[in-house]
Amino acid sequence: MKKIIILSILFTFALSKPLAPIDFDVVKEQTNTKSPTLLLMGGIQGDEPGGFNATNMFLMHYKIIDGNVWVVPVLNKHSMLMNHRGLYDDMNRKFKNLSSSDPEYFIIKHIEDLITDKEVNVILHLHDGSGFYRPKYETPLLNPNRWGNCSIIDQKKLENVKFGDLNTIVNKMTSHINDNLLEPIHKYYVRDTHTAKGDKEMEKALTYFAIRNKKPAFANEASKELSLEKRVYYHLLAIEGILDQVGIKYERDFKLTPNNIYRLINDKTLDVKINDSIILPLYGLRPVLNYFPMPKDAQITTIPLSSKAHIVGLLPRNNQVWLKYGNKLMTRINPDYIEFDHSVKNIQIKVDGELKNIEVPSIVEVKENFEILPIEGYRVNIIGYVIPNDKSKKPNETGILIHHKDCISKFSIDKAGKIFRAEIYKGDKFSGMILIKFL
């Protein structure tokens, strides 16, 4: 029986193409090149959402006033999309003697180039770890073999390097966290792995690559025992602790509490633009979207996306395209592959009687009714609206006043039955999408 199970797992794996490694994004928040630069990274393991949601929150809700922060929201994006620790083994063990045939070789070289960039002064690497680290054994959950809620250095000092007093910096960072503990059990400890003294595992890790290259590096771990918003809370405290230590000034646009972080992660106003032609809200979507246009012949993971959130991605899965926000699955798209044509930039829509010029793609809020004005050379198909008594296969639904009641609820893209797609076509090509959102 076991053999059959293993064989069928292998067979399924062989049938589904493995997801190719995806290079990461770097977002540079720069205000003053003379001030220090922090390199902040999350998500080297794809199943540690505390880290990559913290970098994402940082990018969305912090503003640098003086200094520079380079942020890699998620290092291991392909594994994040699959909710997997490491699709090609542990990425955080590839910083020593890595074969150039490793599928992630180009990603590791890219990180190494960033770490050794002469602009970079300090490095902070975010992880989610199991249990709660304690220097002495207390319980199975609290002991020296656990990694949750600790701040890590490889050694106490880097001689003759700015910010090279790693021990002092990390102690101030953990004090800052401990001043803001939610519960006593969450207490942070400093963990010095003394890597140079023969820790064969840590020698292969990212932070020790930095140390070998004379770059002050710190890792912060938030416990996997904690909810996502609490992990992010502790990571943000660690980031703020480091920023204070190196003199980078920032503003945050919310009061730092787990409740507020929860609210901001689950921000219902977030959306994503796909290939500059389609827009989707991240939240409230139906679990499956059918007959949805997707660019023909494109590699799914390289389709351009733009969103306020930096951890959004498209994952090809079986015959579907999954929209991911970090480890969260937002919807599964059954694609209708079609050639995209970006020729329509704006269209005119009468919204509740008022003529508006609308950018493509966008979400248009409608109270009572709307009417898309005819566009020369294009046709519009409003999914869920059926022209009464019309049997033609290629409807053009412009010049018609449409109310919410005229749209069939099951064709809405959202569970609430309020948001409908207006798809614009030029001949056989898809030119863009507008979403009509009834309030």
- Nearest-approach distance from CB 279 to Zn ion, in angstroms: 33
Output 112 or 276, the one with its CB closest to Zn ion: 112
Output 45 or 369, the one with its CB closest to Zn ion: 45
User: Is the N-terminal amide bond of 388 cis, ω within 30° of 0?
Assistant: no
Output 210 or 303, the one with its CB closest to Zn ion: 210
In our burial notation (b when 16+ CB lie closer than 10 A, e otherwise), range 410-439 reads ebbbbeebbbbbbbbbbeebbbbbbbbbbe
- Nearest-approach distance from CB 126 to Zn ion, in angstroms: 8
Output 146 or 421, the one with its CB closest to Zn ion: 146
Tell me how far apart the alpha carbons of residues 137 and 227 are, in angstroms, rounded to a whole number.
24
Task: Choose one: 20-28, 38-46, 81-89, 358-366; the region binding Zn ion (CB under 5 A).
Answer: 38-46
By beta carbon distance, the residue nearest Zn ion is 127
- Nearest-approach distance from CB 88 to Zn ion, in angstroms: 15
Task: Choose one: 47-55, 150-158, 284-292, 341-349; the region binding Zn ion (CB under 5 A).
Answer: 47-55
- Nearest-approach distance from CB 48 to Zn ion, in angstroms: 5
- Tokens standing for residue 215: 């770059």
- Nearest-approach distance from CB 151 to Zn ion, in angstroms: 13
Sheet holding 328-338, edge to edge: 288-295, 328-338, 320-325, 312-317
Output 127 or 421, the one with its CB closest to Zn ion: 127
**Three-state secondary-structure class, residue 105:** helix
- Tokens standing for residue 177: 């966290």
- Contacts for 191 with CB less than 8 Å, ≥ 6 apart: 133, 135, 150, 151, 152, 153
- Nearest-approach distance from CB 90 to Zn ion, in angstroms: 9
- Nearest-approach distance from CB 45 to Zn ion, in angstroms: 4
Amino acid at 135: P
Other Cβ atoms closer than 10 A to 182: 12
Output 48 or 225, the one with its CB closest to Zn ion: 48
Output 45 or 193, the one with its CB closest to Zn ion: 45
Question: Interface with Zn ion includes 220 (CB under 5 A)?
Answer: no
Segment 117-156, which members bind Zn ion (CB under 5 A)?
127
- Nearest-approach distance from CB 267 to Zn ion, in angstroms: 26
Output 50 or 67, the one with its CB closest to Zn ion: 50
Among 24, 39, 45, 438, interactor with Zn ion by CB under 5 A: 45
Contacts 24+ apart (CB under 8 A), 415-422: 415/284, 415/285, 415/286, 416/284, 419/281, 419/284, 419/363, 420/382, 420/383, 420/384, 420/385, 421/382, 421/383, 421/384, 422/372, 422/380, 422/381, 422/382, 422/383, 422/397
- Nearest-approach distance from CB 79 to Zn ion, in angstroms: 11
Size of the site for Zn ion (CB under 5 A): 3
**Closest C-alpha among 193, 186, 183 to residue 217:** 193
- Tokens standing for residue 394: 């290629």
Write down the residue that tokens 């929201």 correspond to: 73
- Tokens standing for residue 129: 């770890």
- Given a contact cutoff of 8 angstroms between Cβ atoms, the answer to whether 55 and 126 are in contact is yes
Task: Choose one: 45-53, 225-233, 277-285, 307-315; the region binding Zn ion (CB under 5 A).
Answer: 45-53
Other Cβ atoms closer than 10 A to 363: 16
Output 148 or 293, the one with its CB closest to Zn ion: 148
Segment 276-315, which members bind Zn ion (CB under 5 A)?
none
Residues of this chain that bind Zn ion (CB under 5 A): 45, 48, 127
